[in-house]
Amino acid sequence: MSWQQRISRRLEERAAAQAWRCRSALQPLDGCRIRFEGRDYCNFASNDYLGLSRHPAVIEAWRQGASLYGVGSGGSGHVTGYTPAHQRLEEALAAWLGYPRALLFISGFAANQAVIGALLDKEDRIVADRLSHASLLEAASLSPAALRRFVHNDLPSLAGLLDKPLGGQQLVVTEGIFSMDGDAAPLADIAALTRDRGGWLMVDDAHGIGVLGDEGRGSCHRAGIRPDILVVTFGKAFGVSGAAVLCSESLADYLVQFARHLIYSTAMPAAQAQALHAALAQIRAAEGLRAALQRNIRRFRHGAGLLPWQLAESQTAIQPLIVGDNARALALARQLRARGFWVTAIRPPAVPAGTARLRITLTAAHSETDIDELLEALRDGESQ
């Protein structure tokens, strides 16, 4: 089969499975409204949970950073791309989260790939929650270590895998809040079990950082644990993009030597680091926004409990409605769109087969009316 035949065949299969993905060029209007092809929508699909992507102080910090440092970093951090702005942000993140060191990465995807790629050898084992993010599972399957996946949030399943004989080291991998389900990992129990078996724990808290815990320190802080490796990302509640790995002094030194995504990739712009520093200050003081988000979550769950779909075990901003069938999920998303709500239908392989869903995300910027109207549109959609 030629390259072209292979590509055409795979595209046809995608379309036939109702799994076709496409992008829409959306114009953001404010905290939760977007414009597409001349029409305005209320956005229930964004991870900008606190609305910080448009915060004036964050925008101003980026502007000033650009004036001071230019818009590009000009190289990897190992060459000339590391500035006092990067250094200050790393120090602030480490102090905020209670770690000796923080290392910046351009994305959460890169951070996960870099850590797993640099750390694991052939005789090692990665024991990851089955529902871990694609960036973690992909990194794990690319690494020479064995990948074993435990049943989602299931401690006996985790223990069973950890107890299997092994020559090398083992790394337990989970998320703080699961990106497609919104539920929380039992972090304290996982940490205890991992420590007991002599392994290391890596937690990706992309969806917990900024929104959970005191000053938004995230899932681990809330659970009273400090994993060996904590990955936080800045594309969600921080409203920007990028990521940081929090770890010990020696692991940070090790990653600076061996993490290929740091060495062979242009560092994040210093202006972005300045903006992130400003976003961090906003996050620490955002108790009001976090409370507004919690009110919105409660209001949505109360209303959605009366709908016929299974409501997930989620107390977070991620509120999936599991519809099951791909075509049905797409049809519902289309009906919502016709009513002015932007919600995405998430289908396999992003989620397990037969669990296509509307992944509704709430933010502090939604009003009670936005939520009530979405619920009404869902009720009407269901009866069609």
Ligand X SMILES: *Cc1c(COP(=O)(O)O)cnc(C)c1O
Among 31, 51, 81, 108, which residue sits at the site for ligand X (rule: CB under 6 A)? 108
Query: In terms of CB distance, is 65 or 108 closer to ligand X?
Result: 108
Q: Tell me the CB-side half-sphere exposure of residue 5, using CA atoms within 13 A.
A: 2
Residue placing its CB nearer to ligand X in the complex, 347 or 370: 347
**109 is an interface residue for ligand X by CB under 6 A:** yes
Number of shown-chain residues binding ligand X (CB under 6 A): 15
Position among 53, 179, 219, 272 found at the interface with ligand X (CB under 6 A): 179
**290 scored as a contact of ligand X (CB under 6 A):** no
Q: Which stretch binds ligand X (CB under 6 A): 13-21, 27-35, 108-116, 151-159?
A: 108-116
Segment lying near ligand X (by CB under 6 A), choices 71-79, 103-111, 141-149, 250-258: 103-111
* Per CB under 6 A, 233 contacts ligand X: yes
Kindly list the catalytic residues: 47, 133, 175, 179, 204, 207, 236
Q: Which of 175, 181, 228, 370 binds ligand X (CB under 6 A)?
A: 175
Interface pattern 50-79 for ligand X (x via CB under 6 A): ------------------------------
- Rounded Cα distance between 243 and 195, Å, is 25
Residue placing its CB nearer to ligand X in the complex, 205 or 370: 205
CB nearer to ligand X: give 64 or 241.
Answer: 241
- State yes or no: residue 207 binds ligand X (CB under 6 A): yes
206 is an interface residue for ligand X by CB under 6 A: yes
> Is 272 one of the binding residues for ligand X (CB under 6 A)?
no
For residue 232, report the phi and psi dihedrals to the nearest 5 degrees.
-120, 145
Q: Based on CB atoms, which residue is closest to ligand X, 41 or 109?
A: 109
Residues near ligand X, by CB under 6 A: 107-109, 112, 133, 135, 175, 179, 204, 206-207, 233, 235, 241, 243
